[in-house]
Amino acid sequence: MLATITNDLDKIAPSFEIQPEQIQIIQTPAEFYQTLKDKISKAQRRIYLSTLYIGKTEHEFISTIRAALLANPNLRVSFLTDALRGTRETPDPSSASLLTPLITEFGPERVEVRMYHTPNLTGLRKKYIPKRINEGWGLQHMKLYGIDDEIIMSGANLSSDYFTNRQDRYHLFRSKDLTDYFHTIHSGVASLSFDFQPSDAPGSGGYSMTWPSSNPAPSPLEAPNDFRAAASKHLSHLLTPSNSPAKLQAVASSSPTTTVYPILSLVPLLPTSTELPALTTILTSLSRAPLHPSTWTFTAGYFNMMPSFRRLLLSTRPSSGTVLTAHPHANGFYGSKGVSGMLPDAYTHLAKMFLRKVRHEGLDGAVELREWKRGWLGRRAGGRTSTAPPREDGNEDPSLTVVGSSNYTKRAYELDLEANVIIATTDPGLRRRLGEEVRWLGEYAEKVDEREFEKPERKVKLSVRLSMWIVRVLGGAL
């Protein structure tokens, strides 16, 4: 029955057949951090880290990378972060000032620091939009943590709160082919990014930011349209099914039961993506026989799904559907100053509108909204779950899941760079582990209904709605 979906996915994205035991599901932020450090400390050839930012005080993490470089002279390290987020605190300490000393010590042949800058924020927009909210015009948001022939896919950034108290999803893949593929994606975007080098110039923040002449496109700040055209030519071929590795002839007893599909959204650089078409295929399949009615769980740290995605999700009319999101007090922007401090209320408003739509669709008996209320949750850019168990064997554990950086928002599909994987499996053991993941992710969540949003503390101010409108008018997104 799963073939109903995978046959279509084979036409959209590359596919990687692996054994179930090649996937490790990491449970907690602390386990994620420890696993990452353990893998880095044993790295022999390559480390590539794509993330939104690396926390400016992550000296222990950087020390782990430094020790690996000292221990292995053949090791090369490449960092790819977002230029807006990675330099926001300049001239105070920032991601950029944290990373460039590694270049001083080990040289540019062994350490590369690249930061992507959106072509959507230039000129007067860049000059006048405050740094705290300019992320709304596009970011490097992929989370790819590759070490030698293994990769961790997640929605977590590399900072102390994500290592300690912000719950996310983290899947470790022991697959050279898959790690090689994402290294190609990482390198492709890095070549379309600014190069950072150490600098001791006054006011520099400890780094210099230049656009190398070897980049295959002009600077997005100087020629954004030409940048997009060149970037599209440079990257478009990397997303097609032709990037699937050659399939080896295998005996029936060891035939893979699990397929991994990388899906990406690089719309600022490409006219199309594979993430939205793939997820559209999945949700459309769930709305009709033989997969209807299905059960699914959708998780997002920030409740702001794109309207067309919401329509697709509800059109599945599941026997049971759960949306899991963060309570405002567990949101990464809770208590922030200025406009960003309004974001938790903005997501509250959107959650209320979602429940109203669920009721209008007659689905209030099948679809529920649950909020994480445990104090340490902060699922900013968290990994997501979408499950569709075949029902002929009575097994309610997931047969399909989506893990990665996407928030399924307008920003994710129109402005940010996102990387995810779909895992499709018929293996009972892996399905059981995926089911366990869904259950403990929901362990500290409580069901909420429309009455919850009528409480005085959940009322959304007019100023919040006005700010949401202003961001949209200026071409940004939450």
Domain ranges of the chain: 19-239, 255-473
Q: Residues with Cβ < 8 Å from 269, sequence gap 6 or more?
A: 189, 192, 228, 231, 232, 235, 417
What was the pLDDT predicted at 274?
A: 97
Q: Domain 19-239: which CATH class?
A: alpha beta
Q: Rounded distance, CA 66 to CA 118, Å?
A: 30
Q: Residues with Cβ < 8 Å from 330, sequence gap 6 or more?
A: 371, 372, 373, 374, 375, 376, 377, 378, 379
Residue in the block written with tokens 């090689």: 180
Q: Rounded distance, CA 13 to CA 386, Å?
A: 18
Catalytic residue among 141, 171, 234, 410, which?
141
Catalytic residue among 39, 56, 117, 143, which?
143
Whether the bond into 290 is cis, omega within 30 of 0: yes
What was the pLDDT predicted at 467?
A: 67
What one-letter code names the amino acid at 463?
S
What was the pLDDT predicted at 343?
A: 66
- pTM to 2 decimal places: 0.92
Catalytic residue among 8, 148, 149, 427, which?
148
pLDDT means over runs of 10, the chain (478 residues): 94 97 97 99 99 97 99 98 96 97 98 98 90 88 99 97 92 99 99 98 95 98 98 96 80 71 95 93 94 91 85 95 80 54 72 93 95 54 41 73 92 93 97 94 89 79 66 59
The half-sphere exposure of 351 on its side-chain side, counting CA atoms within 13 A, is 33
H or E stretch including 371? strand 367-372
Q: Rounded distance, CA 386 to CA 438, Å?
A: 10
Q: Tell me, what DSSP letter sits at residue 216?
A: S
What was the pLDDT predicted at 255?
A: 63
Question: Length of the chain, please?
Answer: 478
Q: Rounded distance, CA 459 to CA 452, Å?
A: 10
449 noted as active-site residue: no
Assess whether the region 19-239 and the region 255-473 belong to the same CATH fold. Answer: yes
148 noted as active-site residue: yes
Write down the CATH number for the domain with range 255-473: 3.30.870.10
Helix (H, G, I), strand (E, B) or coil at 406: coil
What was the pLDDT predicted at 45?
A: 98
459 noted as active-site residue: no
